[in-house]
Structure 1
C-alpha cells in the first residue's frame, strides 16, 4: 500500500436487515439455500460499496457471509460436533454453549476461498480477509478429544495455514487473524500462542496481521473493562514477543480506551492498525477526534507504518452509525495525512 495512513476496518460490518436481524450479534440467517447464497453475495457487494463510498482504502468482506467470526469457520471442519454442546467460560468473562471437539480436527475443503475470490472480482484495490486465530478458536469450544489447549491450537494452526495459503492464491493482500484471547491468557500467549500464530502464517508471502482487542460493545465486555482500572496494560504482556514475531501488522484498540499509547513503542518496527473508532458506542466520532487519536499514536509509530482502523468489528451497530463512523475514520486520516505532507 503506497498511500500514507491507509484506512481499514478491524472486521465485521452490519448486515442488511433482509439477510439477518440488525443490531444483534450472531443473528441467524433469514434466507435459505440458493436465496441465502445469493443474498450473501448481495450483502458483500453492498458492504464493499459502503466502504468505498466512505473512503476506506483497504476493504474487506465485512464478514457478510458468516454468522460468527469463529464458529462459522469451525462449522466447516471435521472433528467438531455442533449437536453435542457444553457450557464453557469464554475468555474468562461469560458463559456460552459451545460445540464439542470429538475427534481429530481437519479441513476437507476451503471455507472462505470462494467468498474471497468473489470480493477480489469486485475490486482492484487491496483487500483484507479475517480468520479466527488458533487461541481464540480453542477458547470457543469444549475439547473432549485432545484435552490439551496447546495440542488443539497447533492442529488449528495447521488448518488455518491451509486456508490462508488458498486465500493468498485467491488474491487476498492482507490476512488477519483475530486473537482477542491474547488479551486474557498471557502465559499461554507467550508459551505457545504466538508460536501457533506463526505456524498459521508459515510460507505466506502476502501481509499478515493479528487483531487484539477488548471485544465487541456487548455487556460482558463493557462490564469486564470496568474492572481493568484506569490503565489497560494487557498489551504490555504480549507485545515484546509479537515484536519479535513474523507478523507484519498488529491491530489494537486505542480510541476511548484506557490503553496507554506509549505501549505501541513495544512493537516499534511493525505496521500498526490503530483503532481510532470506538465500536462500543453509537456516538459517531468527529474527524478531529479521530485525528487526535492518530496524532498521539504517531509519537510511537512511524507515519509509513500507521494504518488507521476501527477498535473492533461493528456488527451490533446500526448501518447508519457504522457508515458515519467509517466516514469519520477516513476524514480524520485525511486531516493527519495533510499535516504530515505539509
Structure 2
C-alpha cells in the first residue's frame, strides 16, 4: 500500500567526522584512494540507517560521496579545467573559486552510478538521487568556450540525461535536479531554464523532481533573504511554466520562510515536496510545528500529492541536530496522516 505523505530530505546530510570535517559545507576528504572509496560506502550505510531510524520513507545518499552538489558532477566531465580556477559571483550573492569550461562538454564515464547501485543493494525503500540542474551548473563555473549561458545549459542537459538514464537503470526511483538558480534568474528560467531541464529528463520513466530553494543556511544566503522583503514571491513568476512542464515533483522551501503558501495553488496537480524543516537554524522543530506547515500546504496541495521534506540540505548542521530534524519531520507527517485518516473514516 502506498504511503500517504511520504517523507524525504531535500539533499545533503551531515558526513561522519572520519570522512570529512563536520558542520562545514564542501569540506575536503580526510581519506584517500581505496580508503576513501570504502569510507564513502561506510558513510552511505550510516546515513541510510539514520534515515531509516528517523522513519524517513524515501531515502537518499545524503550526498555522502560528493564534496559539492554541483562541482563533483562537473569535475567528472571532459571540457572542464579544474587547475586554473577563477573567482566569480555565484547567484549574485557570493564569490567562489570555480572551474572553467575550456572545450566541448562530454561525459566519458558514469559519475554516481556505482554509488547508486551500492545504495540500492542496501535497501528496498524508494531511493531519491539528486543531480545539479543545468542552470545551476552554468552559474557555478566560468565559461571560456561556449560563452553563452543557454548553449552551455543545453550541453549540460545532454550529459545529465545520460547520467540520469543510468541512475534509473541502477534502481533509482526519483531523480531530483537541484535548481536554486531558479529563484534568482527568473526571466532565464522561463526563456530556457525549464526547457533545458526537460532535455535533462528526456526519456526517463522514473519520477523526476526539481528542487528550488533559497539555499543552504550559510551567511551569504541568510543575508540575501533579509533583502527580499516581507513576502518572497519568486515562485509566482516561474510556476506557470513549471506547471506545464513534464517534471513530476516540485520541491520547495516553505517552513520559516516568507513564501506565501497560496502560490502552491499555481502548481495544483503536480506532486509537491513541501519543505517543513528549516535548515538555517540549529533549533529542532517540534512535530506539531511540522504538522502546522503541512496542514497549511494541504489547503493548496492534494493530500495524495504532498511529500513532506526539508527546505534544503543539512550538511552544515551537526549529525545530532540533523537527526532530530528528520525525526521531527517523520513525527509531524504521522500526526497529519492520522488526521487525514480520521477525516476519511468520518466522511
**Scaled by the length of structure 2, what TM-score is found?**
0.98
Q: Does 1:333 align with 2:347?
A: no
Q: After TM superposition, give the deviation of residue 219 of structure 1 in Å.
A: 0.3
* Paired residue secondary structure (2:135): helix
User: 1:315-339 CA distances to partner (integer Å, 9 max, x unpaired)?
Assistant: 0000000000000000000000000
Deviation, structure 1 residue 279:
0.1
Q: 1:2 offset after TM fit, Å?
A: 1.2
Structure 2: how far apart are the matches of 1:17 and 1:216? 20
Runs of 4+ that moved beyond 6 A: none
CA distances 1:15-48 after superposition (whole Å, capped 9, x unpaired): 0000100000000000001100000000000000
C-alpha separation in 1, matches of 2:12 and 2:291: 23
Q: Which residue does 1:258 correspond to in 2?
A: 258
SS in structure 2 at match of 1:199: helix
Question: Counterpart of 2:345?
Answer: none
| Root-mean-square deviation (Å) | 0.5
Q: Does 2:83 correspond to 1:94?
A: no
CA distance in 2, matches of 1:172, 1:322: 24
SS state at 2:273 partner: strand
How far does the alpha carbon of each residue in 1:168-220 deviate from its partner, in whole angstroms, 9 at most, with x for none? 00000000000000000011000000000000000000000000000000000
Matches within 5 A, 1:241-256: 241-256=241-256
Residues 1:218 and 2:221 are matched in the alignment: no
The alpha carbon displacement at 1:87 in A equals: 1.2
Structure 1 residue 290: Cα displacement: 0.1
Alignment match, 1:234: 234
Residues 245-324 of structure 1 mapped to structure 2, 5 A cutoff: 245-324=245-324
Pair 1:151-2:151 in alignment: yes
- Please state whether the residue corresponding to 1:160 is helix, strand or coil: helix
Unaligned runs of 5+ in 1: none
Secondary structure of the structure 2 residue equivalent to 1:88: strand
* 1:130 shift after superposition: 0.1
Secondary structure of the structure 1 residue equivalent to 2:8: coil
- Superposed, which structure 2 residues align to 1:190-205 within 5 Å? 190-205=190-205
Could you say which residue in structure 2 is the equivalent of 1:48?
A: 48
- Alignment partners' CA distance in 2, 1:242 and 1:214: 17
* 3-state SS of 1:119 partner: helix
Q: Distance in 2 between matches of 1:21 and 1:141?
A: 24
Number of the residue aligned with 2:162: 162
Q: Secondary structure, in 3 states, of the residue corresponding to 1:49?
A: helix
| Counterpart residue number, 1:180 | 180
* CA–CA separation in structure 1 for the residues paired with 2:51 and 2:101: 37
Q: Write the distance in 2 (CA, Å) between the matches of 1:232 and 1:29.
A: 36
Q: 2: distance between equivalents of 1:98 and 1:34?
A: 27
| Per-residue Cα deviation, 1:60-102 (whole angstroms, up to 9, x for no partner) | 0000000000000001000000011111110010111111100
Q: Provide the C-alpha distance between the structure 1 equivalents of 2:84 and 2:139, rounded to a whole number of angstroms.
A: 16
Deviation of the 1:228 alpha carbon: 0.3
How far did 1:261 drift? 0.4
Distance 2:338 2:67 in 1: 39
Aligned residues: 342
Instruction: For residues 255-310 of structure 1, give each alpha carbon's deviation from its aligned partner in whole angstroms, at most 9, with x where no partner exists.
Output: 00000000001111100000000000000000000000000000000000000000
Q: Secondary structure at the match of 2:68?
A: coil
Secondary structure of the structure 1 residue equivalent to 2:251: strand
2:125 is the counterpart of 1:125: yes
- Structure 2: gaps (5+ residues): 343-347
